[in-house]
Chain A
Amino acid sequence: MTFLFDLIISFLLWAGLFFLFVGTIGLIRLPDLYTRMHATSKCDTLGTGLILLAVILQVPGYNEIIKLVLLGVFIWTINPVVAHIMGHTAYLRGEHHTPSTFFKDCYDTPYPGKEMSGKEDVHA
């Protein structure tokens, strides 16, 4: 029984490591800021959750479990928020993108190459 438990924890660890490595490879190899963020935000969130779950199943005390759950909640909320804010900022700054990107003008001050006048009104 304890062998099965160890096996489950080991599987969670290697799965989390796999996802974190996939995110890293995507960060290095993909051509564009948006595709890099697409790779890192999702893969990092999932891999971190898996590894923290493995650590939660292994620690002895309740204090550590509470802290680790809090850490997981922080990361699971912080990563999407940071991805959203960086994507918004990069879009407003007119970041370089690959030529085959499909764009939809979601603000009045659209995308790369155009002047960003009225930048304050984009949240309206």
Chain B
Amino acid sequence: MLSELTFLEQIFLGVAILLTAATFLCLYRAVVGPSEADRIVSINVIGTKTVVIISLVSLVFHQEFFLDVALVYALISFVATIGVAKYMEKGVLE
């Protein structure tokens, strides 16, 4: 299957794989981070990287609707981060 791709698409796939490795490196800070804010920042970074990975996969496999998934993922990640930040600041969600 890999030989069916062009050379540039193979580079795109390699970048996506390396970004997955970077995502797992970010997961280290999300697990052992000393405070809650560290974990939130780390989860936000993971969300950003995931959006990029979904875009790359959408290009390599010629699936246009993956970009819709990436858009929705970015917005949901943003709303979740804002909600948790508000909860951390005020103690309640109102």
Interface residues of A (CB under 8 A from B): 6, 9-10, 13-14, 16-17, 20-21, 23-25, 27-28, 33, 36-37, 40, 44, 47-48, 51-52, 55, 58-59, 61, 63-64, 67-68, 70-71, 74-75, 78-79, 81-82, 85-86, 88-90, 92-93, 95-96
Known A-B contacts: A23-B45, A82-B44. Give 16 more (CB < 8 A).
Answer: A10-B8, A33-B35, A33-B38, A36-B41, A47-B52, A52-B55, A55-B55, A55-B56, A58-B8, A67-B68, A74-B78, A78-B77, A85-B81, A86-B85, A93-B88, A95-B35
Which residues of chain B from 37 to 86 have a CB within 8 Å of any chain A CB?
Answer: 37-38, 40-42, 44-45, 48-49, 51-52, 55-56, 58-59, 64, 67-68, 70-71, 74-75, 77-78, 81-82, 85
Complex: A17 Cα to B49 Cα, angstroms: 10
On chain B, the residues within 8 Å of A23 by CB distance are: 45
On chain A, the residues within 8 Å of B15 by CB distance are: 13-14, 16-17, 51
Contact assessment for B42 and A82 in the assembled complex, using a CB-CB cutoff below 8 Å: no
